[in-house]
């Protein structure tokens, strides 16, 4: 089935706004034609949220506690509440979060899922047959049981400071034997776990809030992608990651909203924070939240930007809302101003 759409298209890997016609056939972008039109709509690629923990959707907005008291396994507040949560409540809260992702313009996400095989199964149950959202699940062992690996995309661990080094080595080896991805948190609270994380040869690292000059050089030398979670870092008092410096050193940086406990999964909010607190470059910010996330997850051939041959994972934003009326800088307004209620359609 062929479908034609017209508007200001955020085109290609450079996210250049052009007015024109977009043709889609069987869910694939078939043609993009630049043409003089009056466009009331912006056609933009959907977001890739490169780091979440949607399993803590049952404990939204806890007291302002130090990071460790909140999330450190096994006794952090989060883990104590999760231990008391029924499977059914866990699944329904995750389902609501995923529907919220879709509604706010996200088409793919990468989740760090606790609870071993059962935890992965809960996310899959929550996702059901939903096809507007692609879930990349990074499980972790439960009592050393690694059977989760067969039903997800890889392993996602907390800091090397939280786990026994020998155990981590086994987990990494088994993950790689299964040809799955391995990712972990590093440099969130302080820089002490960054060298160990780099040595493990992860596929990507999360946070790097406290990465210093040497760490950034080491990340760059290792071609290590980084996922930053600004709102999370601000809330936990970790500070701001040196995103501009990482980008200057050629590091692939993507963005995530981290724990649903701490933040909504609204990527518009994440973009606004990235732009106004750290990067001051609309194109870079938009790239972090779309194409770079797709690259980190290895889905850039099908998602992350509007190009011929890619899947049509699109959002339509109105230029006519009270918020968007009269905008002059399309990309800047998407990044710094647009909100989920400016979305008038999704494919």
Interacting residues with Zn ion (CB under 5 A)? 258
Based on CB atoms, which residue is closest to Zn ion, 78 or 95?
78
Cα separations (Å) of 93 from 74, 103, 148, 266? Answer: 21, 15, 21, 16
Integer Cα distance of 294 and 154 in angstroms? 16
Three-state DSSP string of 127-181:
HCCCCCCEEEEEECCECCECHHHHHCCEEEECCHHHCCHHHHHHHHHHHHHCCCE
What's the token pair of residue 281?
A: 């470059």
Based on CB atoms, which residue is closest to Zn ion, 238 or 305?
238
Shortest approach of Zn ion to residue 256 CB, angstroms?
A: 7
Residue 150's CB: how many other CB atoms inside 10 A?
Answer: 11
Shortest approach of Zn ion to residue 99 CB, angstroms?
A: 21
Shortest approach of Zn ion to residue 51 CB, angstroms?
A: 6
The reply to whether omega before 74 is within 30° of 0 (cis) is: yes
Shortest approach of Zn ion to residue 335 CB, angstroms?
A: 23
Based on CB atoms, which residue is closest to Zn ion, 98 or 205?
205
Based on CB atoms, which residue is closest to Zn ion, 215 or 258?
258
Q: Secondary structure of the chain: what % helix, strand, coil (to 5)? A: 40, 25, 35
What's the token pair of residue 122?
A: 């809960």
For Zn ion, which residue has the nearest CB? Answer: 258
Based on CB atoms, which residue is closest to Zn ion, 72 or 310?
72
Based on CB atoms, which residue is closest to Zn ion, 57 or 318?
57
Integer Cα distance of 160 and 218 in angstroms? 17
What's the token pair of residue 311?
A: 């899947």
Shortest approach of Zn ion to residue 86 CB, angstroms?
A: 24
Shortest approach of Zn ion to residue 227 CB, angstroms?
A: 9
């Amino acid at each position: 089935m062929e479908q034609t759409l017209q508007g200001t298209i955020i085109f290609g890997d450079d996210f250049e706004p052009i007015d024109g016609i977009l043709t889609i056939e069987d869910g694939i972008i078939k043609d993009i034609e630049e043409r003089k039109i009056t466009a009331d709509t912006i056609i933009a690629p959907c977001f890739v949220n490169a780091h979440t923990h949607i399993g803590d959707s049952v404990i939204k907005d806890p007291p302002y506690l130090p990071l460790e008291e909140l999330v450190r396994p096994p006794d952090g507040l989060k883990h104590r509440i999760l231990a008391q949560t029924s499977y059914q409540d866990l699944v329904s809260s995750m389902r609501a979060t995923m529907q919220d992702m879709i509604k706010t313009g996200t088409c793919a996400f990468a989740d760090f899922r606790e609870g071993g095989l059962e935890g992965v199964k809960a996310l899959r149950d929550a996702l059901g047959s939903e096809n507007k959202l692609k879930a990349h699940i990074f499980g972790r062992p439960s009592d050393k049981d690694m059977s989760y690996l067969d039903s997800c995309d890889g392993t996602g661990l907390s800091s090397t400071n939280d786990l026994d080094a020998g155990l981590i080595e086994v987990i990494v080896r088994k993950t790689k034997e299964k040809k799955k991805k391995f990712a972990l948190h590093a440099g969130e609270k302080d820089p002490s776990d960054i060298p160990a994380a780099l040595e493990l040869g992860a596929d990507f690292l999360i946070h790097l809030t406290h990465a210093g000059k040497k760490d950034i050089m080491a990340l760059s030398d290792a071609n290590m992608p980084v996922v930053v979670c600004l709102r999370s870092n601000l809330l936990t008092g970790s500070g701001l990651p040196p995103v501009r410096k990482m980008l200057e050193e050629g590091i692939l940086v993507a963005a995530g909203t981290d724990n649903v406990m701490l933040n909504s999964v609204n990527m518009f909010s994440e973009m606004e924070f990235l732009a106004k607190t750290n990067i001051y470059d609309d194109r870079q910010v938009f790239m972090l939240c779309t194409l770079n996330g797709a690259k980190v997850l290895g889905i850039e051939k099908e998602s992350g930007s509007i190009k011929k041959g890619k899947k049509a994972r699109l959002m339509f934003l109105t230029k006519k809302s009270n918020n968007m009326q009269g905008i002059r800088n399309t990309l800047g307004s998407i990044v710094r101003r647009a909100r989920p209620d400016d979305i008038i359609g999704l494919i």
